[in-house]
Chain A
Amino acid sequence: MTQLWDFSGGIHPPENKHQSTSRPLRRASLPEWLVLPLQQHIGEPAEVVVEVGQRVLKGQKIADVTTGMGVPVHASTSGTIEAIEHRPVPHPSGMDDWCVVLKADGQDEWCELDPVSNYKQLERDQVLARIRDAGISGMGGAGFPTDIKLRPPRDRKVETLILNGAECEPYITADDMTMREQASEVVAGMEVMAWILRPARCVIAIEDNKPEAIAAIRAAVENTQIEVVAIPTKYPSGGEKQLIEILTGMEVPSGGIPADIGVMCQNIGTAVAVSRAVFKGQPLISRVMTITGDAVQEPGNFEALIGTPVSNLLQEAGLDTGKLDRLVQGGPMMGFTLTTDAVPVTKTSNCVIAATASELPPPPPEQPCIRCGQCAEVCPMELLPQQLFWYSKSTEFEKAEHLNLFDCIECGACSYVCPSSIPLVQYYRFAKGEIRQQQAEQLKADRARERFEARQARLEREKQEKEERRKERARAAAEAQEKKKAEAQKAAKEGDASDERSAKAALVEQALARKKAKAEQAPASSDQGESGQVEKPDIEALEKQLAQAEGKLATMEGMLEEAREQQADNVEKLERAVAKNHDRVKRAKETLEKAREQLSNEPTAG
């Protein structure tokens, strides 16, 4: 007898499973149209690799993910691509998304398949590539690409591989019927995964309210190393964290993944898909889905092609539209309501409940919380739901986070038992959303601040560097002066002693001439900053300066006019700039004239 642990809390809602287990698994009839969403998995949406009007065969790849995480999508039957457009998809928000619309030709003609009889002769990577190419992502809910999940990081060796057949949500019996009728494929798929991961322990866990499934799987695992464990029926035993605790007594660390403690959970449907991908070479193009609820006359399970409109399945199960009040995809505890039955079956669709108003009645009006603590008694994560509610409602998010709001798995047990019918899970979703948004905004603000600070620092640095360069140039100029002086002295010394006097006189003369030139240059060069070293009037340079100044003035005046027309607030600034440029042009003209005059007087002074 395998040792089992218990998780804290939990509830026993009415199971409502018998309605859909009384009939055998049915194969849904081929629909006229199939709608294949491009994103049925976590990660990047797949990119279409076919064209509108193209004929495709059953199992042919119609979309693939080339960059990033994701898996391909395949045609579920043979037919023609009719459109690539937005269609309603099963999502809590009721949104539309990109889908490939396939018109079935009724021939259901397979493309060429490549089955493997002895996969153990392949490399593990080759088998993983097959799993990826078959478009397999987790079929339990989140839709994580299975090949990536089967490649845990090197330091996270999987010691325990769990196949989750708990199916603790009321109403849903898809896994139950799969285990009853496809037990050998379930076990074969698990053996492939076990061969890839080489865990020390392989367990198939099934809630003890499914004796037929337990018996079928027990028969199928004979001569294998796989354990079959019947676990006590208690919601949410099929929650990954809870199931791991039940089977191993270990807890997945907060914020971590099961691989952190050497455990991996896989879904029953995923195991079947892996088995078909390997042994039959078939991609994931169908799945088992429960259609139940009091609004259908023949509830049961269907093996339906991915892309089959839910409305077709509801028709086949005998939907009474008059009685229908609420369509829930998933179970009554964690499922979401559909806005339309036009959504297709996807890789993660496990159940649709067509509920009547009396079956899932609207909750009574919310009453004040009396802190009775029923919620804390049933919380499988050992949280304090009443405190989380209090802080979520009063938007004291810091305190809610402190009480581990983000460890909430939204199983709904607290709302289920709340005597004041408070929609607790909704409050937690609100708080989580607000906190995530605040964090995103905080991140944005932080980045903006960093950018601003970096810019300020850069401007400051540039200013300093400019100053440095200016000083450097001034120093270089001074050095050059010194050097020239020294050379002149050296030349004088080296020359004849009698020439010493005349050399000295020449030096003095030179210096005087320079000084004079400098004095004349001064008015023109005063706003040229560093160009004060010009010794002789240079007509060409001065003309250039004048032209530049005039050009600048013209631009400034143009800008000023424009600014005046638009009544911009920099008019004043521009006016000042124009006046300044006027002065500059005037001075440049004066200097030029003076220089010309000087030149005509002293033609040899070059």
Chain B
Amino acid sequence: MALVQQSSPHAHNARPTSRVMLWVIIATLPGLLAQTLFFGWGNLINVVWCVALALAAEAAFLKLRNKPVTFFLKDNTAAVTGLLLGLSLPQFAPWWVSGIAVISAIILAKQLYGGLGANPFNPAMVGYALVLISFPVAMTTNWAEAAGLANAPGLGETLGRIFSASQTSVDGWTMATPLDEYKHKVASHTATEILKHPTFGDMVARGWEWVNLAFLAGGLLLIGLRIITWHIPVAVLGGIAIMSLAFGNNPDMHAPVQLHLLAGGTMLGAFFIATDPVSAATSHQGKLIYGAGIGILIYVIRTWGNYPDAVAFSVLLMNFAVPFIDYYTPPRTYGHHKARRGVPGRNGG
């Protein structure tokens, strides 16, 4: 009788990493749908292009590292990295800009650190920050106008624009983002004057508000499925809101809180990017500190920095702080009076 010998537990549930990532992909679909409905085909093309390139780059590097290629490709994590870049890059970002972002995300930020689980920084945000610093013009002038899918350039035209060598033909389709517009006009204009710009629309930020609400819905789905916990998104949004109310409650001086929450990459960042578990803090308390740090930095950079949006920089800066946060925020274990903070031998409780 050849009996299986195995260490306990013998039972396992059935939600592997690949399925977790699949749920993350599904949860982004409302946001992608909203982006397409308001801003045209750009994001969808970016997503397809970035995901394909991410999988190719991952496969090539796994092969170079002598790792089982299909085993790792099937975990869907490279696809998620590509997807997040496709969702956050400007709609008309040229193919090579998104290409450089994806390849540096997968190879520099992920594989060179040892692949899945070993990267200290959020790969998608490394790629994003790299192209944002390297190609600031391409990254700020290629945002689509929220004209609606019917009025936006068609699929073929968009493809041509993204993959063509020259970028001069379609300037009429782009428009400054609400955050950018507000940031540049607030010094010389009143809030009423600024908000007359068509990028703001009738409510908060035309198109952007729906995209952000769709990402919020997707994020709530992830919380409901217990794929992420509420701590990081709530802390990020709370950090932005508290900073905004504390320092910028005069719309003539600073962008109002609703614009901060519903424009730019706020919801995508709070629910899908800051929550990347590999590079985020570990304990509940740590996640709150990590998320709040991201929220505060987003506000600080948007308000007093040079960039209109700041999700990538804020996430990366807080990634740096994660080991430190982790050392000082372990939970209190059952049967102990207090948590054992710090490192062994120093400040050990």
Bound Cα distance from A315 to B227, whole angstroms: 44
Q: Closest approach, in angstroms, between the C-beta of B248 and any C-beta of chain A? A: 33
Bitwise interface map of B from 1 to 42 toward A, beta carbon under 8 Å scored 1, else 0: 101111111111101110110000000000000000000000
Identify which of A377, A386, A425 contacts B9 (C-beta below 8 A): A425
Which partner residue on chain A sits nearest B345 by CB separation? A398
If the complex has contacts A324-B1, A373-B277, are A404 and B16 also in contact, measured as CB distance less than 8 A?
Answer: no
Number of A-B residue pairs having CB atoms within 8 Å of each other in the complex: 165
- Asked if B277 and A377 sit within 8 Å, CB to CB, the answer is no
| Beta-carbon contact of B348 and A416 below 8 Å | no
Looking at the complex, which one of B10, B280, B283, B334 makes contact with A241 (CB distance below 8 Å)? B334
Q: Are A412 and B340 in contact (CB under 8 A)?
A: no
Contact A334–B8 (Cβ < 8 Å) = yes
Does B335 sit at the interface, judged by CB under 8 A? yes
Which residues in window 239-254 of A have CB below 8 A to B?
241, 245, 251-254
CB <8 Å contact, B278 and A399: no
Selected from A252, A333, A339, the residue in CB contact (under 8 A) with B11 is A333
B226: chain A residues within 8 A (beta carbon):
374, 377
- In the complex, what distance in Å separates the CA atom of A94 from the CA atom of B5? 10
Which of A364-372, A451-459, A509-517, A540-548 faces chain B?
A364-372
Please tell me if the beta carbons of A370 and B7 are within 8 angstroms of each other in the complex: no
A47 within 8 Å of B (CB atoms): no
Whether B11 contacts A401 by the Cβ 8 Å rule is: no
> In the complex, what distance in Å separates the CA atom of A8 from the CA atom of B284?
13
Asked whether any CB of chain A lies closer than 8 Å to the CB of B309, the reply is no
Any A CB within 8 A of the CB of B245: no
Cross-chain contact B12 with A416 (CB below 8 angstroms): yes
A residues less than 8 Å from B4 (CB atoms): 325-326, 337, 357, 362
Interface flags, B325-349, vs A, CB<8A=1, else 0: 0100011111110001001110010
B5 touches A339 (CB 8 A): yes
| B140 in the interface (beta carbon within 8 A) | no
Q: Whose C-beta in chain B lies nearest to the C-beta of A412?
A: B9
Please tell me if A603 contacts chain B, counting CB pairs below 8 Å: no
Instruction: Report the minimum CB–CB distance from B97 to chain A (whole Å).
Output: 28
Known: A376-B282, A425-B7. A407 touches B333 (CB 8 A): yes
Q: Considering the complex, which residues of chain A in the window 415-437 have a beta carbon less than 8 Å from any beta carbon of chain B?
A: 415-421, 423, 425-426, 429
A377 to B343, CA, bound (A): 23
Residue from B1, B9, B118, B335 in contact with A332 in the complex, judged by beta carbons closer than 8 Å: B9
Contact B340 A403 (CB under 8 A): yes
Determine if A204 is an interface residue (Cβ-Cβ < 8 Å). no
A29 interface residue per 8 A CB criterion: no
Chain B residues near A383 (CB, 8 Å)?
331, 333
Least CB separation from A423: chain B residue? B7
B333 touches A371 (CB 8 A): no
Whether the Cβ atoms of B333 and A404 lie closer than 8 Å is yes
Is the CB of A363 closer than 8 A to any CB of chain B?
A: yes
Cβ–Cβ contact B7 & A429, under 8 A: yes
* Residues B340 and A367 in contact, CB atoms below 8 Å apart: no
Tell me whether B117 is interfacial, beta carbon within 8 Å: yes
A563–B314 CA distance with the chains assembled, in angstroms: 79
Asked whether B7 lies within 8 Å of A332 as measured between CB atoms, the reply is no
A contact residues around B13 at 8 Å (CB): 11, 13, 416-417
Encode B312-328 as 1/0 by CB contact (under 8 A) with A: 00000000000000100
Interface size on A, residues (CB 8 A): 77
CA of A332 to CA of B6, assembled, Å: 11
Interface pair A332/B10, CB less than 8 Å apart: yes
Check B118–A416 contact: CB distance below 8 A.
no
Considering residues B4, B5, B11, B13, which has the most beta carbons from chain A within 10 angstroms of its beta carbon? B11
Say if the beta carbon of B75 comes within 8 Å of chain A: yes
Against B, the Cβ 8 Å flags (1 = close, 0 = not) of A98-115 are: 000000000000000000
Query: Binding site of B, secondary structure by majority: helix, strand, loop or mixed?
Result: loop
Residues of A near B142 (CB, < 8 A) are none
- Closest approach, in angstroms, between the C-beta of A423 and any C-beta of chain B? 6
Nearest B-chain residue to A336, judged by Cβ: B8
Q: With A and B bound together, what is the CA distance between A265 and B80 in angstroms?
A: 49
Contact, CB under 8 Å: B344 / A326: no
A360: CB under 8 A from chain B? yes
Question: Quick one: given A367-B116, A372-B20, are A251 and B9 in contact (CB under 8 Å)?
Answer: no
A1-50 at interface with B (beta carbon < 8 Å) = 7-8, 11, 13-14
Question: With A241-B334, A407-B334 in contact, is A372–B277 under 8 Å at CB?
Answer: yes
Give Cα A526–Cα B234 distance, bound, in whole angstroms.
96
> Is the beta-carbon distance between A371 and B277 smaller than 8 angstroms?
yes
Whether A370 lies near B282 (C-beta < 8 A) is no
- A410 beta carbon closer than 8 Å to chain B: yes
Residues in B with CB closer than 8 Å to A418 are: 12
Distance from B122 Cβ to chain A, minimum over Cβ atoms (Å): 12
Check if A384 sits within 8 Å of B12, measured CB to CB: no
What separation, in Å, do the CA atoms of A426 and B116 have in the docked complex? 22
Chain A residue with the shortest CB-CB distance to B331? A382
Asked whether, in the complex, the Cβ of A326 is within 8 Å of the Cβ of B10, the reply is yes
Chain A residues, CB < 8 A from B118: 368
Q: Contact between B343 and A402 (Cβ–Cβ < 8 Å)?
A: yes
Does A380 make an interface contact (CB < 8 A)?
A: yes
Q: Which residues of A contact B335 (CB under 8 A)?
A: 241, 251-256, 381, 407
The answer for the CA separation of A569 and B282 in the assembled complex, in Å, is 62
Query: Residue of A at shortest CB range from B4?
Result: A326
B282 near A245 with CB under 8 A, answer no
Q: Which of A7, A321, A360 contacts B1 (CB 8 A)?
A: A321
Q: Does A327 contact B (CB under 8 A)?
A: yes
B16 contacts A384, CB within 8 Å? no
* Chain B residues within an 8 Å CB radius of A324: 1, 3
A362 to B9, CA, bound (A): 11
Using A370-B277, A371-B280, A377-B229 as known contacts, list a sample of 14 further A-B pairs with CB atoms less than 8 Å apart, ordered by residue number in A: A241-B334, A254-B335, A328-B10, A333-B9, A370-B117, A372-B17, A382-B332, A386-B282, A398-B345, A402-B340, A404-B336, A410-B8, A419-B19, A419-B20
Would you give 30 A-B contacts (Cβ < 8 Å), ordered by A?
A: A11-B13, A252-B335, A255-B335, A326-B10, A333-B8, A334-B8, A337-B4, A337-B6, A338-B3, A339-B3, A367-B16, A367-B75, A369-B117, A370-B116, A370-B277, A371-B117, A371-B278, A372-B17, A373-B229, A381-B335, A382-B332, A384-B330, A384-B331, A399-B344, A415-B9, A418-B12, A419-B20, A420-B16, A420-B117, A425-B9
- For the complex of A and B, list the 10 residue pairs with the smallest distance between their C-beta atoms, beginning with the closest: A412-B9, A368-B117, A254-B335, A402-B344, A332-B11, A326-B4, A332-B10, A404-B333, A419-B17, A372-B277
Partner-B contacts on A (CB < 8 A): 7-8, 11, 13-14, 94, 170, 241, 245, 251-256, 321, 324-328, 330, 332-341, 353, 355, 357, 360, 362-365, 367-374, 376-377, 380-384, 386-387, 398-399, 401-404, 407, 410, 412, 415-421, 423, 425-426, 429
